[in-house]
Amino acid sequence: MKIFSSLYARAMRWARHPHAPWYLGALSFAESSFFPIPPDVMLAPMSMAQPKKAIWFATLTTLASVLGGIFGYLIGMFAFGLIASWVESGSYAHTFALAQQWFREWGFFAIFAAGFSPIPYKVFTIAAGVLGMPFLPFVLASFVGRGLRFYLVAGLMAWGGERMEQKLHRWIDLLGWLTVAAVVIIVLVYRF
């Protein structure tokens, strides 16, 4: 069943849409403070579809993400009471506790690690505000961590370009089903 190849073709069409950079910027901002979907899901196909603009897309993603991180920092600093029960009782409770522990131990490097890795960066931006991390080191760590990640993603996709796009299109259904199987196995192992 070829579900993933049609989704892939649609994503590549969207990646070439004239308004795609606006959506990428909005997603990057939102993901850094409250939205669960990382901007990589748009950045990667956009960089692959338009390799000459990959650096611009990475720059846009980094700037919007850091601005969203600042918004998350402000939420943590001034409005945490409004979302505390949601953070502490929801699926982010463990990550929030981890963020607080990392800040106590590593400070600047906690934001850098969260910005570069797949750890939910938004939780760390809010925790930085709650714990009163100094603002300028927060912004600097965010720029470095997020920038490294997004320039790496954009660069790899641009490097692969059209060749990678064609190869992925050929193998996307197999990769998609393997990913689904891996998720099911991980869930089953985790539950039992």
Q: Return the pLDDT at 4.
A: 60
Q: Return the pLDDT at 12.
A: 66
Q: Return the pLDDT at 167.
A: 66
Contact 112, 141 (CB under 8 A): yes
User: Mean pLDDT per 10-residue run, the chain (192 residues)?
Assistant: 63 77 90 82 86 95 96 93 78 79 83 81 88 93 93 89 68 68 74 72
Q: What distance in Å separates the CA atoms of residue 75 and residue 34, rounded to the nearest whole number?
A: 10
Q: Return the pLDDT at 103.
A: 81
Q: What distance in Å separates the CA atoms of residue 55 and residue 159, rounded to the nearest whole number?
A: 11
pTM of the model: 0.77
